[in-house]
Structure 1
Amino acid sequence: MRNSFLKTRSIFRRENPSGVSSSFKTTKPKQDGWVAMDWGDLKFFLAVARNGTLSAAAAGMRTTPSRVSRHVEALELALGYSLFRRSLDGYRLTDEGRLLVRRAEAVESAIHALDSEISLEVSGRVRIATTESIVTYLLARPLSELQQEHPNLQVELLTSSSAINLLAAEADVALRLVRPQAGNLTVKRLGHIAFAVYQDVKGVGEGRFVTWMVDMADLPAARWIERTDGLIVLRSNSLTVHHEMAAQGYGCAVLPCFLGDQDSRLMRVGSVIDEIGQELWLVTNRDLAGSARVRCVTDVVSNAIESQTELISGDLLG
């Protein structure tokens, strides 16, 4: 199912004596006996029900089997009963699971219909402040797909290293490595960005380092490099330069794992450097968070980052 700003946040069931869901709602009633379910969990449940295995469901949703498993288990925990019988052959629906499939498919159809009705109505400009590497390696394809779905939506990407003030309307959405502590902002943690040392696969750059300019010495990666015994042979204020020079054998570079692990010209040297890892935060001006165009973009960005958790956290290579 394509991403949409109308992505339903939660669906609810009323418990009955048999333990089987009897109805769904799209807003949470105040009466006792209602249990919240996340629509995201239902999407993963349907994928497993239709494919029979975690790996097949994950492939269809462009994510990992472990993430699919977490969503299915969260749904079972919320409901209080098992939806599948697990075996070496895969996942088979229980009686409760088969009942839930019918309910969930009805909800899915309704959301698809609503998405189709409003898809052409999402228009206008959304400005995203982020880094060049995040756009290039994590968001390029999802944003391209978003544009195809919403041709009247215009995205502007601000990759300047200078600080962007969302409250001053310099951008609508920002991806930040430091959590904002105050202001009229909505903040969501997207994941943990891991870093490691990389060098060219031939080992030409072994023992030498590419690092940051002297006036950027307070960056975590720069401080870590300064404590090593490696010879610093190049300084640059560009992560893109660090990446390419390392790949060409000029020297080793400390890079985000989502960048280094995807380049076949590079190999990781040692393990992830825990002390310089950074959290990634999605930040939106609270006054714009409910806007259709902004919500459409933040849903795509959030899903794109969260679906690549293993790559971003450095777990793809172990």
Structure 2
Amino acid sequence: MRVFLAVARGESLSRAGRALRLDPATVGRRIARLETDLGARLFTRSPLGYELTEEGQRLLTHAQAAETALAGARDALHSGPGGLRGSVRIGAPDGCANYLLPQVVAAICDENPGLEVQIVALPRVFNLSRREADMAIAVSAPEAGRLSVQKITDYRLHLAAARSYLDRHGPIRSMDDLRGHRMIGYIPDMIFDKELDYLSEIGVQTVGLASNSVSVQLNWVRQGTGVAVVHDFALPAAPGVVRVLPQAFSLTRAFWLIRHGDDRRLGRLNRLAEALTTGLRRELARLEAQVPAP
């Protein structure tokens, strides 16, 4: 069933093999054996990969239920009085993953020595149905899927630039002045969530320096190469970078904790989700409090 689920989610033997740490040929043999044992064809093979047949779709529901039951068994073993144990993978956009999650997760692991946490920082939406992560942090709440969604907290963003850049190019006194400055932002066709389309809100049409990574954008700002929309919680990590026109332009966004709907019955993940949410709220408030008032 593990092999079957991996192929159903990865839609190829190679992706399933990487997830299971098995040779793709071994994955293929196990799928063939499963189909023989069940007397049903579970996948349609094509040059594009493996796609579930109608019989495979019916089996998928039961395989997922079995996976949840086994996860519950592991949860019971890993939720004793000694604290949280086992391995958990958390997906997050790279801004949160770089400037908030490391210290929050480290504190949780200090309190739970048996816990192993993996942070996957990717500038895209995670697919929890394919079990890319046990839980994910997102910048907007999904509207479809069998998911559990919880708002973590709001956060603020402002225009920012290095003092060295402002010294060379002069002060920016109004939003109109931005037209004469190089703007830093996301690659337009790689913005994976409408909540990240910051620059369109101020009418910026041309992005002189663009990256799909928040960290790359902030590093450009630190080097004095232009102006960008920056998370307030990231500014303490960038000495020499100051907010620009904070009274004229400010954005508020939110982080959401997303989990697979079936995982709400798992006490271990519930406790971790609570610790993660509390820690992120506390850490974000601490970092934003360090940013000088306008």
- TM-score w.r.t. length of structure 1: 0.55
Q: Deviations over 1:75-106 (max 9, x none)?
A: xxxxxxxxxxxxxxxxxxxxxxxxxxxxxxxx
Which has the larger helix fraction? Answer: 2
Give runs of aligned pairs for residues 245-260 of structure 1, distance below 5 A. Answer: 245-260=220-235
Aligned amino acid, residue 150 of structure 2:
K
The aligned counterpart of 1:233 is 208
Does the CA-based 8 Å contact 1:194-1:312 persist in structure 2? no
Q: Structure 1 135/238 Cα, relative in aligned 2: closer, same or farther at 3 Å?
A: closer
The aligned counterpart of 1:221 is 198
Report which stretch shifted further, 289-298 or 251-260. 289-298
Give the Å deviation of 1:260. 2.4
The aligned counterpart of 1:208 is 182
Partner SS state of residue 187, structure 1: strand
Q: Deviations over 1:171-208 (max 9, x none)?
A: 21111111122332222111212211111123257532
Which of the residues 108, 120, 126 maps onto 2:82? 120
Does the CA-based 8 Å contact 1:204-1:251 persist in structure 2? no
Q: Structure 1 192/315 Cα, relative in aligned 2: closer, same or farther at 3 Å?
A: farther
Give the Å deviation of 1:131. 1.8
Over the matched positions of the two proteins, sequence identity in percent amounts to 22
Does the CA-based 8 Å contact 2:94-2:213 persist in structure 1? no
Q: Structure 1 298/158 Cα, relative in aligned 2: closer, same or farther at 3 Å?
A: same
Give runs of aligned pairs for residues 1-318 of structure 1, distance below 5 A. Answer: 118-120=80-82, 122-202=84-164, 203-204=166-167, 206=169, 207-216=181-190, 219-224=196-201, 227-228=203-204, 232-271=207-246, 273-274=249-250, 276-308=251-283, 310=285, 316-318=291-293
Does the CA-based 8 Å contact 2:152-2:257 persist in structure 1? yes
Does the CA-based 8 Å contact 2:87-2:117 persist in structure 1? yes
- The number of residues matched between the two structures is 199
Q: Structure 1 228/164 Cα, relative in aligned 2: closer, same or farther at 3 Å?
A: closer
Partner SS state of residue 280, structure 2: helix
Stretches of structure 2 that go unaligned for 5 or more consecutive residues are 1-78, 170-180
Q: Deviations over 1:248-290 (max 9, x none)?
A: 101111111111254222000011644x432211112222123
RMSD of aligned Cα (Å): 2.8
Between the aligned partners of 2:286 and 2:245, the Cα distance in structure 1 is 16
- TM-score w.r.t. length of structure 2: 0.59
The aligned counterpart of 2:13 is none
Partner SS state of residue 212, structure 2: coil
Q: Structure 1 164/210 Cα, relative in aligned 2: closer, same or farther at 3 Å?
A: same
Give the Å deviation of 1:303. 0.7
Does the CA-based 8 Å contact 1:123-1:153 persist in structure 2? yes
